[in-house]
Structure 1
C-alpha cells in the first residue's frame, strides 16, 4: 500500500478516521475537540489543537508520522519546538517515543481506522494513469458551487502572486506607477511571441521622454519605431523617411540606444499581428493618452476601458502596409476584440488589483474582479481540456482560475490541498 504523510495529514485535518472508541496505544480514551491549525512551516504539524486524553483536556501541538520511530529519525527528540506536543498521530506504531522526562508521549495509531474507500480514491487520484488531470474521471461530478468557490480562492492567490511582480518592478522604478504600467503594457502588447523585444524597447524608452513629445504624433511614432530598431535601413516611402529623420535627431538629443531588430519575430504570425502593426497600435495608444494608468484608474465602467484600447487609430500609412515600403491591400489595423480582452486581462486587471492591494483600497480590487468576470473565457489547450471533462467556464475569471488550478495544483498532484480534490475524496 502506497501511503504518504500528506495523506495522513489530510485524514487528521478533516477527521476522516473512525472515531468510535478512540484510544491511545496505551488504552487511554481520546476525544478530539479540535485537530489544530495545519502548520506547513518548521515545527509540529498541527498547532493549538484541543484534545481530551483520559480525564484531562490538553491544548497544544500534534505531530504526525507514518511510523512512530520517525520521531527519532526526524530529530525531534532534541528539539525544544516539540516539547509542547500533546499527541503523536501515526499510521503505524512501531516503537514507543519517550520524552526527556521519561514519559511516553501519547500516541494514536490510525492503521485500522482509515476507510478503505477513502484510501482507494486518494490512490487513484495521485497514482492513477490519467492523461489530463488527476481527477479527470470525477471532476465533472463536482457541483458548481464548490467549483466556483475554489476557483475564486485560487484566482485571488494567482492575482496576489502576480501582483508581487508588479510591486518588485515598482520598487525598481522608484515608486513610479505610470512607468511600471507602461512597461508591463508594452510587454503584453507583444502577446508572448514578441513580449521580450517590446519590454526591452519600453525599458530603453522611458515614458518621461515620450511625455515630452506628447503633442507631436510623428515624434512619438519615430521614438517607438526607432527604439524598436526598425528605422536603421534605407527607405523609399515618405512616411518611414520622415520617421527616420525625426528619430535621428531625437536619438542624439536623448542619447538613446535602440534594441536589436533581429529580436522581433514575424514568422508564423498573421500579418495583423506583425510587430510593426503592434508597434503602430502601441504608438497610437500613447499618442491618445500618455498617462494611461491614470486613465485606467479613472474609468469606472468596463465599456470605457474597452474603448480606451479599441478606439485607437494608427497612422494612415498602416492602412495599406504591414511593413515599411511594402504596400498591401487596404485593411483596418485597429486592435481586435480578442487582443483588447487580453490586454485588459493581463495588464489592466493586474494593475487595478495591485494598486488596490498596495494602497489598501478594496474598491480597485473589486473593480479588477468585476472586469475579469465581464470578459469572455479564454480559449486555449488547458481550458479546452477542462471543458471536455465537463467543467463549465463562464468568463475570464473562471478560465484564469482554471489555469492556476492546472499549473499550481494538477501538475503537481496537490489534490489534498485542492478544494476540488477534497470534494471528490468525500463524494459518497
Structure 2
C-alpha cells in the first residue's frame, strides 16, 4: 500500500464514518478534511475536526503505520506541531509533538470497504511492463470523457514541465529570449543521443559571436564545426579543400574571440547505431543553415502562425558541401531535415518556448495557441502510444501522443493511480462505502 491511497481516501472521505473514535477513545467528527498540501509539512492543512466537545482547526498527517512519524523525523520538525489528527492504516505506536503532547490518531484499516481495497490492490499489483497499463483490465468502467480529459491534463503538465526548463534557461541567460531560443534549439538538434554535447557546444560558442557572422554561412560553419571538434586533420580530411578552408577560417576566428580551450573533442559525439542522416555533422550543418537563414530566431518561432510556416522555417538549405557529406571528408548524399524531425523540434522547442514566454509576460491565452500547434502535427506511433490506442484512448494527433506519453511516464509507470482521474474513477465505480 502507498500513502497516496490513504490521501485519496481521506480527501474524499471514502471510509466508514459511523461512530468515529480516536485510538484514545475520543469521539471524532470530521467537519472539513482540509486541503492537500503540495509543499513541505503536513499532508492536509486547514482541517476542521471535533474531538469530544472541542472543535479543532489544524493539520492532518497521514501514514501507513503510525511509526512512520518517527521514521520521517516529524518529531523534530516544528511544522508538525500544528497536526491535530494522525490518520493511519495501522496504529503500531503513539506519537507526540515537540512539547510531548500526544497526537490523536484515527485508524482506517477496519473502516475501508473490501471492494475499495480490492480495486486498489488490482491497480497496484498489475503487471508492470512497458506495453501494459496498470488499469487495463478495469478500463471498461471508465467513460471516454474521463480518459480524454486525463490525457489532456497530462499533456498540459508535460508541456508546462518542458516550459519550466526553458524558463530556467532564460534566467541563466540573463533573460535574453534570442539566446534562449538558440540554446534550446541547439540542444534539440542533437535529437536525444547528441543533445548533451550540442547543448555544451552552445555554451562554448555564445550567440553574441555567431550574430556577428550570421551573414556568412562559411564563417558560421567554421565556428560551429571548429568548436565541435570536427575540423581536425585526419585521413579523411587531409585532402579535402572545403574542410581545410573551414579549419583555416576557424583558426583565425578562434584567436579573434579567444576560444582556446573551450572546444569539444570529436570523441564526445555519438555515432554508434545511428543512421548517417542523424550523424552529428549533418545536424550541425542543418543548425548552421537555420542560423544563417533566420537572423531573428525567437521572433520567428514566436510569431509563426501554423505548422507549414514552421516547416519552411526549419527547412533552410544547407551549403552544397553538406548536401553531399555525412562527415567531414566522407561523401554521401544527405537528405534535407525531414518532417518527422521538424515535428520533434516543434514539440520540444517551439511549444515549450512559447509557453515559457506566455508565462513570463502574463498572457495565458498564448499557452492555448502554442499547445494547439501539436494538434496540427501527425500522431507519433511507438509501443507506448500504440498500447494506449489499443485500449481505446484517442490517438489522432501529436497532442494525443504527447498526452499519452505524459500519462504513461507521469502516472502509470510510477503508479500514481490515486492522482489520476482514471484511477480515481475506477475506485469510485468499484467500491461500496459502508
Task: Bin the TM-score by the shorter chain.
Answer: 0.7 to 0.9
The separation in 2 between residues aligned to 1:105 and 1:216, in whole angstroms, is: 72
Shift, 1:187, TM fit: 1.4
Shift, 1:100, TM fit: 11
The separation in 1 between residues aligned to 2:94 and 2:247, in whole angstroms, is: 82
- Kept in 2: contact 1:140–1:391 (CA 8 A): no
Alpha-carbon distance change, 292 to 24 in structure 1, aligned in 2, over 3 angstroms: same
Query: Considering only aligned residues, what root-mean-square deviation do their CA atoms show, in Å?
Result: 3.3
Partner of 1:201: 201
What does residue range 313-352 of structure 1 map to in structure 2 within 5 Å? 313-328=317-332, 330=333, 333-352=335-354
The separation in 2 between residues aligned to 1:12 and 1:337, in whole angstroms, is: 49
- Kept in 2: contact 1:139–1:391 (CA 8 A): no
The separation in 2 between residues aligned to 1:241 and 1:72, in whole angstroms, is: 68
- Kept in 1: contact 2:81–2:98 (CA 8 A): no
Shift, 1:32, TM fit: 3.7
Partner of 2:15: 17
The separation in 2 between residues aligned to 1:366 and 1:308, in whole angstroms, is: 22
Q: Deviations over 1:192-223 (max 9, x none)?
A: 11222322222222111121112222212222
| TM-score w.r.t. length of structure 2 | 0.84
Alpha-carbon distance change, 217 to 84 in structure 1, aligned in 2, over 3 angstroms: closer
Partner of 1:217: 217
What does residue range 386-401 of structure 1 map to in structure 2 within 5 Å? 386-401=388-403
Q: How many residues align?
A: 422
Indicate yes or no: 2:292 matched with 1:287: yes
What does residue range 91-102 of structure 1 map to in structure 2 within 5 Å? 91=89
- Kept in 1: contact 2:128–2:413 (CA 8 A): no
The separation in 1 between residues aligned to 2:100 and 2:327, in whole angstroms, is: 83
Alpha-carbon distance change, 81 to 349 in structure 1, aligned in 2, over 3 angstroms: closer
What does residue range 8-157 of structure 1 map to in structure 2 within 5 Å? 8-19=6-17, 21-24=18-21, 32-51=30-49, 58-66=56-64, 85-91=83-89, 108-131=106-129, 132-139=132-139, 141-157=141-157
Q: Deviations over 1:263-321 (max 9, x none)?
A: 223332222222222122111111101221121122233322222113x1111233333
Indicate yes or no: 2:369 matched with 1:371: no
Gaps of 5+ in 1: none
Higher relative contact order (CA 8 A, sep 6+): 2
| TM-score w.r.t. length of structure 1 | 0.85
| Residue aligned with 2:136, SS | coil
Indicate yes or no: 2:274 matched with 1:261: no
Shift, 1:67, TM fit: 5.9
- Kept in 1: contact 2:43–2:61 (CA 8 A): yes
Q: Deviations over 1:32-58 (max 9, x none)?
A: 443211235454432222345667765
Alpha-carbon distance change, 261 to 141 in structure 1, aligned in 2, over 3 angstroms: farther
